[in-house]
Amino acid sequence: MIICANFKANKTRQETRAYMAVVESFVSANDISDTVIVFPPFTALDHDPRNVLIGVQNGYPVANGAFTGEIALEQLEEFGIKTILIGHSERRHIIGETQEQIAQKFQFFAEQGFVIVYCVGEPLEMREAGEDVMMTYIERQFEGIDLAYPDLIIAYEPVWAIGTGLTPSNQDIEALHHALRAKTSAPLLYGGSVKVENAGEIMALENVDGVLVGSAALSANDFCDMIAQAAELNTQKGE
């Protein structure tokens, strides 16, 4: 199982330190063998990770250069960052990243050997337009993306489920993950309103290999609870 916390633009450096102390102690005290990744904001990347990976929420696909407001490879390398989130719906829909830019980013960070958590997901109107329209929409989010990249993790995050408290039915999650599984052998995460109350049941679904959690992961104790639920499932899922 892979359990990820995406802080988005939340938490200070000090708060992230306190959070990491709780999560790292929990992971070592409970002998957790699952992969745990935390994506803090840029300002809190200066952490020396023990048993939890630190990833970056975004990066500009160059070594360095004149790209005001961006963070590039050289700065990430200074912090030992080798994990990146690409294609998140907030970057697609709020910041306006195009599939072309996303694919460029993917290629650059893949060449650098990063673990890439690549996000896809449909807005509500696409889901409501029916299976074919929705799948075509998701298919386009794979343009320029190498689905055979060995350090790829895919996160399915329906846009309408992010930060809304809404989630697709378990059946719908399974159907989507089944379709993704036919395209790639990369681990498949689900994200969108995952919380302590539903994390276990979502992770138990077929072809769900973990979760990418936003707001509910801002509490270190709740995130640890979700990590414990994942660890419990390993025996049932034979991992």
Q: Which residues bind ligand 13P (CB under 6 A)?
A: 6, 88, 157, 162-163, 191-194, 212-216
The secondary element (H helix, E strand) that includes residue 189 is strand 188-191
Task: Give the span between the Cα atoms of 33 and 127, in whole angstroms.
Answer: 35
Shortest Å, Cβ 172 to ligand 13P? 16
- Quote the least distance from Cβ 19 to ligand 13P, whole Å: 16
Contacts of residue 214, Cβ cutoff 8 Å, sequence gap at least 6: 6, 8, 162, 163, 191
- C-alpha distances (whole Å) from 27 to each of 33, 44, 210, 211 are 8, 20, 16, 16
Q: Which is nearer to ligand 13P, 61 or 191 (CB)?
A: 191
Which one, 3 or 132, has the nearer CB to ligand 13P? 3
- What is the Cα–Cα distance from 135 to 106, expressed in whole angstroms? 21
Q: Nearest distance from residue 165's CB to ligand 13P, in Å? A: 8
Residue 58 has a CB neighbour count (10 Å cut-off) of 18
Residue located via tokens 């499932």: 233
The CB-of-142 to ligand 13P minimum distance in angstroms stands at 18
Residues annotated catalytic, as ranges: 88, 157
Which one, 67 or 223, has the nearer CB to ligand 13P?
223
User: What's the CA gap between 107 and 205, in Å, rounded?
Assistant: 31
Q: Which is nearer to ligand 13P, 61 or 214 (CB)?
A: 214
Beta bridge partners of 210: 2, 189
